[in-house]
Amino acid sequence: MIANVIAKLTGRTYAIDAGDIGYLVAKGGIPFLRGLLWSLVRLRRPSGLLLGPGIQFVQPGRLRLGRGVAIGGYGYVDCAAKDGLSLGDRVTLRERVWIQSRSGLNRRAASLTIGKRSYIGPNAVIGLGGPVVIGEDVQIGAGLTITAESHEAGPDGSFVSGAVSRRGVTIGRRCWLGNNVSILDGVTIGEGAVIGAGSVVTRSIPAFSVALGAPARVTRSIGPADQLGR
């Protein structure tokens, strides 16, 4: 019965037994009530939003939410990007996520779009500039860093002038990224790619490839059937 209620409210399905009730209240019930209050205060239709404590939102009116989105506690979510932030159904952003769309009154970033059912682990840092697109069903471990702009040298050769280029970052659907992966501006990671823990991705990675290292290099290819676990 409880599982059915959760599915109706958030679109998330779980197998629950009696020993899970206490955990469920702490990890689900309280965040659900916090998300419900957040939605009602902002005159939004409740969508099963789960919110942890201590989250700071900047311009939350520019945040578009699907059903059953979960955002862990103590995060910073700056929604001031030109085209806002869009989180699809059942997207999970774990604790201490940090998303920046603007630094002071400088130029707004483009946008952030995260597809349905994608998961980003704790302590993620997403610095927007150009558009950042993360596809559906992407799984990302703890400590992700995305930098969607790159500083350029000024006339004197210094990089502290504030001049930047903004090409953006794209992660294709059904990608898997290990812990502490860093992705630099201009990178596209193709569908179904696997990026090893601790990798620094400085150039685009083809679909259905395994890439490791700093900088990340493709070590082998995997067929779609292998990547999908079929």
- The predicted pLDDT at position 9 comes to 60
| Count of C-beta atoms within a 10 Å radius of residue 194 | 22
Q: What is the mean pLDDT of residues 59-79?
A: 97
- The predicted pLDDT at position 114 comes to 98
Least confident of 24-28, 31-35, 134-138: 24-28
- The predicted pLDDT at position 28 comes to 74
pLDDT at 52 over 50: yes
* Domains in the chain: boundaries: 1-49, 52-227
156-179 pLDDT, tens digit per residue, is: 767 666 677 889 999 999 999 999
1-17 pLDDT, tens digit per residue, is: 556 656 666 666 666 66
Least confident of 2-16, 18-32, 120-134, 168-182: 2-16
- Tokens 């869009």 -> residue: 86
Token duo for residue 207: 């679909």
Rounded-to-integer distance, Cα 166 and Cα 2, Å: 46
| Count of C-beta atoms within a 10 Å radius of residue 215 | 12
- The predicted pLDDT at position 228 comes to 46
- The predicted pLDDT at position 219 comes to 96
Residue 131 banded pLDDT, cuts 50, 70, 90: very high
- The predicted pLDDT at position 3 comes to 60
Q: Is 146 a catalytic residue?
A: no
Domain 52-227 has CATH 3.90.1150.10: no
89-108 pLDDT, tens digit per residue, is: 999 999 999 999 987 777 89
Helix/strand number for the chain, H first, E second: 4, 24
Q: List, edge to edge, every strand of the sheet that includes 176-177.
A: 50-51, 70-71, 92-93, 119-120, 139-140, 176-177, 194-195, 209-212, 217-221
Percent of the chain scoring above 90 in pLDDT: 70
Catalytically annotated residue among 64, 67, 82, 151: 151
The more confidently predicted of residues 83 and 7 is 83
| Count of C-beta atoms within a 10 Å radius of residue 94 | 21
200-229 pLDDT, tens digit per residue, is: 999 999 999 999 999 999 999 997 655 544
Mean pLDDT, the chain, whole residue set? 89
Q: What is the mean pLDDT of residues 135-162?
A: 85
Token duo for residue 40: 């009602």
